[in-house]
Structure 1
Amino acid sequence: MLKVTISLEEDILQFVDQYAQGNRSAYINTLLAEHRRRILATEMIAALKQDAEDAEYQAEIAAWNSVAGDGINARAYYNTLSQPSAATHLCQIQVVFNTLNN
């Protein structure tokens, strides 16, 4: 972890001290990590919505879906991978998107 110096308004510092339980750094780090997670989730949903509106992308997904029943047990295969490929991530994103749209 890196050390940094920041300036806070007095009322913000009082708020941090009220909830930090003696560890300002951990509290601020936790807040920022959660904020980052929310931003990334919002960006992911926006990207998935954009993909849903992209006819060319949807045609490509449909083409890939036509070979999805080729006898490969996708879940078992995925579990054997130490580092999932980009195609695996694309499949996961598509599953998340389908879940969000239902």
Structure 2
Amino acid sequence: MTHRMTITLDDETFAFLNRVASNNRSAYINQLLLQARQECLKMALLQANQEEAADTNYQQALPAWDSTLADGLAHD
């Protein structure tokens, strides 16, 4: 599904967009937003990993879960 929208750009930004995006401004802007979204996800994962590493209760509980690694199920 796609959506249409109207945005306002100053003259300099609009000229830049026309210069770098050629004749497909929508695809260019969409690609920029996808990259920004991926960067946000990457930063959220990094923060979650840092919080997990700092959580001593969680770190102490991890060895108890190691026994589930040999659950007898085939791993492909």
Instruction: Give TM-score scaled by structure 1 length.
Output: 0.66
Residue identity in the other structure for 2:29: I
1 or 2 for the larger relative contact order (CA 8 Å, sep ≥6)?
Answer: 1
CA distance in structure 2 between the aligned counterparts of 1:13 and 1:62, rounded to whole angstroms: 56
Q: Does 1:16 align with 2:25?
A: no
Q: Distance in 2 between matches of 1:7 and 1:62?
A: 55
1:56 aligns with 2:57: yes
Aligned-pair Cα RMSD in Å: 1.4
State the 4+ residue runs in structure 1 displaced beyond 4 angstroms.
none
- State the identity as a percent: 35
How many residue pairs match? The answer is: 75
Which of 1 and 2 has greater Rg? Answer: 2
What does 1:12-91 align with in structure 2 at a 5 Å threshold? 12-74=13-75, 76=76
Measure the CA separation in 1 of the matches of 2:43 and 2:74: 31
- Any stretches of 5+ residues in structure 2 without a counterpart? none
